[in-house]
Structure 1
């Protein structure tokens, strides 16, 4: 059975926050007159990220925004007790701008390769509506038949229904779909459990991964 669709994780796979979450936070804080040591803030975010990720258990536009507000508040707590809604909104919007991201190497080349081969492409992400804006800003939206966003759909990875919904809307069987992502559990193990193929992304060239997987899975 050949690969008829490739599903991509977004942040950490196709998109990489630049220069870092802490740096983006610090930049916006400085604009509001709150200088914070960028490296210390980034270390705090990295240390607490496994805990922060667990906050995303329920999904809706309102819940997701509230969760990001909580994460930001807890991240900057040693320097700022109450960031306030205006500051949080500025930080939230900073992650909707393309200058806060870099594309993974080989992204556009890989997506063009899929189009030329007639293989469908989609994004499966636990992010929110900002993802649509970032993809459009980079000109990537034209490559994807669907963008499945947990905070808009009401559920996300690692729920089996999220992957099965993607397969159904893309009109492929699970065994005909490949999931590429950087999270061993959310992107790979969960996908494999419902019958998809999966490839753990570790910073390689996206085009090389796609070509290798599609050529290997060709009928």
Structure 2
């Protein structure tokens, strides 16, 4: 891979990881001024996680029939994305109806995300080397403020988000768009991501692919560092 001239990264599970479901729920409760006992919070958080209601965390154990079609295209449109995830959250009874939107809104904040320990270091080194870098994400909202909140935006030349183009990975069109914005032929681009199907779809275009594990940040301190060995 010595011909690699640019790197594209996935967002969730690759550069950053979403907070645990319990802290997510506690933040929404604080926003709404709603109280729940600690034991109730723990039970509700676990149920929300099983329901797949926290974007960027685990997929639903079971997708309700009414949401099944929308689930497949959730990352192509901001309204679809919100409808799916608030719908999944509503499978879990909560004391205040306002909590469902508050939960969704919380996950779009910088405070809800934590960069992997080596993310800034790797991005900064690519920038120092003059290597073009970008982000390609299946997502239904603008994650740029999250990147800015963690100081990562300064290292990225390109940000391609599925909902802004109505295309989602693994469709090669999304990767082709990102490569064009990088100004590079796909053969000179490395895609880095935690989803071997979605992110690995870049290989159909001729990109190289480096998989990483979607682990808690304290269990993956240096998963991104191999990128630096692959880029000339």
- Verify same fold: TM over 0.5: yes
Q: Could you tell me whether the CA contact under 8 Å between 2:51 and 2:62 is conserved in 1? A: no
| Distance in 1 between residues matched to 2:50 and 2:29, nearest whole Å | 16
Q: Say whether residues 1:119 and 2:131 are aligned partners.
A: yes
- Residue deviations 1:93-118 (CA, integer Å, cap 9, x gap): 21122221211121111011101111
Q: What's the TM-score, normalizing by structure 2?
A: 0.79
Query: Displacement, 1:50?
Result: 7.8
Query: Displacement, 1:196?
Result: 0.6
Query: Displacement, 1:5?
Result: 1.1
Q: What's the TM-score, normalizing by structure 1?
A: 0.83
From 68, 79, 95, give the equivalent of 1:62: 79
| Range with greater deviation from structure 2 (36-45 or 166-175) | 36-45
Counterpart of 2:211? 200
| Distance in 1 between residues matched to 2:11 and 2:96, nearest whole Å | 28
Counterpart of 2:227? 210
Query: Displacement, 1:130?
Result: 3.9
- Residue deviations 1:176-206 (CA, integer Å, cap 9, x gap): 1100000110011x11111110010024615
Q: Say whether residues 1:162 and 2:174 are aligned partners.
A: yes
| Distance in 1 between residues matched to 2:140 and 2:186, nearest whole Å | 24
Unaligned runs of 5+ residues in structure 1 are: none
Counterpart of 1:25? 25
Query: Displacement, 1:71?
Result: 2.6
Counterpart of 1:42? 49
SS at 1:210 equivalent = helix
CA RMSD of the aligned region, Å? 2.6
More helix as a share of residues: 1
- Residue deviations 1:132-161 (CA, integer Å, cap 9, x gap): 111111111111111111112211211110
Counterpart of 1:72? 89
- Residue deviations 1:52-75 (CA, integer Å, cap 9, x gap): 89814251222222222223223x
Q: Could you tell me whether the CA contact under 8 Å between 2:77 and 2:164 is conserved in 1? A: yes
Q: Could you tell me whether the CA contact under 8 Å between 1:26 and 1:41 is conserved in 2? A: no
Task: List 4+ stretches of structure 1 deviating above 4 A.
Answer: 49-54
From 168, 186, 189, give the equivalent of 1:177: 189
Query: Displacement, 1:27?
Result: 4.4
| Distance in 2 between residues matched to 1:47 and 1:137, nearest whole Å | 26
Unaligned runs of 5+ residues in structure 2 are: 53-57, 214-219
